[in-house]
Amino acid sequence: MSTSSETETRPKTRARTSSPRGARLALRDATLGRPDSPALTGVDVDVSPGEVLTVVGPSGCGKSTLLRTLAGLLPPLAGAAEQDGHPIDGPGADRALVFQEDALLPWRTLRANVELPLAIRGLARTERRQQATSWLERVGLAAQIRQLPHRVSGGQRQRAQLARALAGRPRAVLMDEPFGALDAQTRAGMQDVLVEVLHGTGATVVFVTHDVDEALFLGDRVALLGSGRLTAVRDVPSPRDRTAHDDPARVALRRDVLSSLGT
């Protein structure tokens, strides 16, 4: 099923609450990578406001490259990267990044870390504190707000990073294997937390993962990368519904995705 004819770029009605707050992200006939070694060519994809697009593909195929391009950290070598129809020409505060590696400032408490994007937004100290506390409560860290990052677990640090990313009220959240370092159970818990905290934010999400089940649980659509191209973008039946795991349509899609990944 990994033919480019199946690549589907039309905007899609989403199961999740839609809102004008989400950014529309697009790559148009884009070549992505470093000037001396392009990783992906001819990439065409549209991510609708509020949509969750998951991205899977073998190691080294260009998943992080695609995400860094949308983040504005790596300009396309050809074609265009756009947000709401305008070229992405650098990082923007309305696009939050969450990476696998821990990016919390080690000398600041979890709450002080989450306050950072709120300070950038110009909120007064009291308001900042109150909102940071509320975000940490939403990700289940009410008891840890005054802890330093090294005093909490890896999963708790990822929760704090998620709180920090969303506290800035971004219009898009770009996530690069954010749960990759977590054990399976913590990971499933984090996926649920992510679904819960995204609800109602309207933010557009591009989520890179190695884990096909994670991609099929979280995504409205899943994009498959391989052999230097975006080979397909597939609709996910019943996204974010754990009970749909065994639905025949989901099982068939899972089989297709795994076979296109060569596993």
Ligand X SMILES: Nc1ncnc2c1ncn2[C@@H]1O[C@H](COP(=O)(O)OP(=O)(O)OP(=O)(O)O)[C@@H](O)[C@H]1O
Query: In angstroms, rounded to a whole number, what is the distance separating the alpha carbons of residues 177 and 98?
Result: 8
Is residue 64 a contact point for Mg ion (CB under 5 A)? yes
Question: Cβ of residue 34: shortest distance to ligand X, in angstroms?
Answer: 4
Q: Which x/- pattern, by CB under 6 A, does the window 48-67 give for ligand X?
A: ---------x-xxxxxxx--
Q: Which residue, 24, 4, 75, 22, is CA-closest to 199? A: 22
Encoded one letter per residue, x for contact with ligand X by CB under 6 A and - for no contact, window 65-84 reads x-------------------
Tell whether residue 37 is a contact of ligand X (CB under 6 A). Answer: yes
Full DSSP string of 59-119: TTSSHHHHHHHHHTSS--SEEEEEETTEE--S--TTEEEEESS--S-TTS-HHHHHHHHHH
Give the closest residue to 50 by CA, choosing from 203, 239, 207.
203
Q: How far is the CB of 256 from ligand X (least distance, A)?
A: 20
Amino acid at 41: T
Query: How far is 220 from 212, CA to CA, in rounded Å?
Result: 13
> Choosing among Mg ion, ligand X, none, which partner's interface includes residue 65 (Cβ < 5 to 8 Å by kind)?
ligand X
By CB neighbour count within 10 A (0-12 exposed, 13-18 middle, 19+ buried), where does 140 fall? middle
- 33 touching ligand X, by CB under 6 A: yes
Nearer to Mg ion, 27 or 167 (CB): 27
Q: How far is the CB of 210 from Mg ion (least distance, A)?
A: 9
Smallest distance, ligand X to C-beta of residue 190, A:
18
Q: How far is the CB of 65 from Mg ion (least distance, A)?
A: 8
Cβ proximity to ligand X: between 64 and 161 the closer is 64
Q: How many CB atoms lie within 10 A of CB 259?
A: 11
Shortest Cβ 145–ligand X spacing (Å):
32
Output the residue with the shortest Cβ distance to Mg ion.
Answer: 64
Closest CA to 174 of 43, 39, 83, 235: 83
Burial 14-49 (b: 16+ CB within 10 A, else e): bebeeeebbbbbbbbebbbbeeeebbbbebebbbbb
Which of the listed partners (ligand X, Mg ion, none) does 98 bind, with a CB threshold of 5 to 8 Å by partner kind? none
Out of ligand X, Mg ion, none, what residue 33 binds, judged by CB under 5 to 8 A for its kind, is ligand X
Query: How far apart are alpha carbons 12 and 111 in whole angstroms?
Result: 36
Scanning 17-25, 34-42, 151-159, 188-196 for contacts with ligand X by CB under 6 A, the matching segment is 34-42
Under rule CB under 5 A, how many of the chain's residues touch Mg ion? 2
User: Could you say whether residue 245 binds ligand X (CB under 6 A)?
Assistant: no
Residue numbers at the binding site for ligand X (CB under 6 A) = 33-34, 37, 39, 57, 59-65
Give the footprint of Mg ion on this chain (CB under 5 A). Answer: 63-64
